[in-house]
Each structure stands twice: as C-alpha cells, then as structure tokens.
Amino acid sequence: MVPPDAIDPLASAPPASPAGSDLCRDCGLCCDGSLFYGVDLAGEEVEAAAANGLDPIVEDGAAQFRQPCPRFCGVCGIYPDRPLRCRAYRCELLKRLERGQVEVESAYAIVAEAQRLAGAADAVALPGEGRGAARQRWERALRAMTGDRAESRADTQADPRWLLAMTAFNYYLDRHFRKPRRHRVALAHKPETMSGEG
C-alpha cells in the first residue's frame, strides 16, 4: 500500500513545477506495473474510470483498476482525466525534485536508469509477462528462496539472470521512487496498490 504521506492532500493540484509534471509524464513507472499492482478508486470515480477504459474492478465495496494501466502507452492517454489517486501520487523522486533536493537533469537521469534496468529485466522475463506479473513472480521466488513453505518449488527454479535483473531493478526503485521501508519483500504477501492507506 502507498503510505499516506505519499498522497498529496491537494489531490486535484498539479505538481508544484512544470518540470515535475513533465517528469511524471515522461517516467510512467507508477503506471506500468513497476511500482503498483493496482490503483484504488473512489466510489464516485468508477463510472468515469470505466468510460475512460480503465476496466475498474469492484470487490467487497472497494474499487480499483489493475496495473499496468490500460491507458498507458508510454505516456498517459487520459492525463487530464486521470483518477484522483493518480493525480495525488508523488513518488520519492518527484518529492525530492519539488523540494529542490535534486536537479531536473539528475531526476531525468535517474528515470532513464530505471527504464534501462526495467528493459534489462523485461528482456529476460517470461514471454508476454508484464512488469506487475513479473514483480509478483519475483517476490514469490524471493520468499521461496528464503524458506517460505507457502511458495512453490517452481518459484525457486527461476532463471538466475531474470532474478538478478529484477532484484537490481527493484532495488533501484526502492532507492529512488518508493518510500523506504524495511523488509519490503516479506511484506509483499498483500499486493501493493496506490491508495491512501499504508
């Protein structure tokens, strides 16, 4: 789950700087399944989300759409009409940019490296496997290798090149994009969604 302080209380406000808005549109890691498995929707957003092609899922009164976002094709296809969680979310890199702790050029270099690492992981992933599915499989493999008997033996048999590429990519995401927390993989039994809960 996204920690509450990752959500800007002014959900409808754009990023503080045009550079931040451009960085978000050029990055897309919060849209492609790299950071989240799904995005929570407010009840009043479900109809608009469906109209925008987000394929909302409503279970037990909670609504969300799955990642990767069906409207993300390198850039957000519904940027002016994106859901409130998407508008409000600030990755750690964007927060640092908005606080002046990182220069625009450096932020773009960090995004470029994340995209390079993602490409390296994609190149050795299973055919047709998206980033969200790959991340779930990677987390299962790590839990299986650390002795979690609930995970299958097949999860320990993953291609070592893929495991290394996914580990490097996720370490980099943890370092630059996600809010730090201890034992990320151990806590990953519940799929991570972009929400206001944490």
> For position 182, what pLDDT does the model report?
52
> For position 68, what pLDDT does the model report?
92
DSSP track, 133-192: HHHHHHHHHHHHHTT-TTS-GGGGG--HHHHHHHHHHHHHHHHHTSPP-TTTTTTTTSPP
Q: Which of 131, 52, 45, 136 is nearest to 85 (CA)?
A: 45
Distance CA 190, CA 198 (A): 12
> For position 107, what pLDDT does the model report?
96
Helix axes 160-176, 131-145, angle to 10 degrees: 110
Distance CA 26, CA 111 (A): 8
> For position 22, what pLDDT does the model report?
85
Place of tokens 């490296």: 113
Q: Each residue's pLDDT tens digit in the chain (198 positions)? A: 333 344 444 344 444 466 778 888 889 999 999 998 899 999 999 999 999 999 999 999 899 999 999 999 988 899 889 999 999 999 999 999 999 999 999 999 999 999 999 999 999 999 999 888 898 888 888 888 777 666 566 655 778 999 999 999 999 999 999 987 654 544 444 556 676 543
DSSP track, 10-59: STTSPPSSHHHHHHHHHH-TTTTTSS-SEEEE-GGGHHHHHHTT---EEE
Distance CA 153, CA 145 (A): 9
> For position 14, what pLDDT does the model report?
43
Distance CA 182, CA 102 (A): 24
> For position 193, what pLDDT does the model report?
67
> For position 71, what pLDDT does the model report?
94
Which residues does 8 contact at the CB level (< 8 Å), separation at least 6?
A: 88, 89, 90
Phi-psi sector, 132: left (phi>0), alpha (psi -120 to 50), beta:
alpha
> For position 85, what pLDDT does the model report?
94
> For position 4, what pLDDT does the model report?
39
Q: Which of 176, 167, 192 is nearest to 117 (CA)?
A: 167
Per-domain boundaries in the chain: 4-194
Largest interatomic CA distance in the chain: 48
- Facing residues of 63 across strands? 41, 58
Q: What would the two tokens of residue 175 be?
A: 């370092």
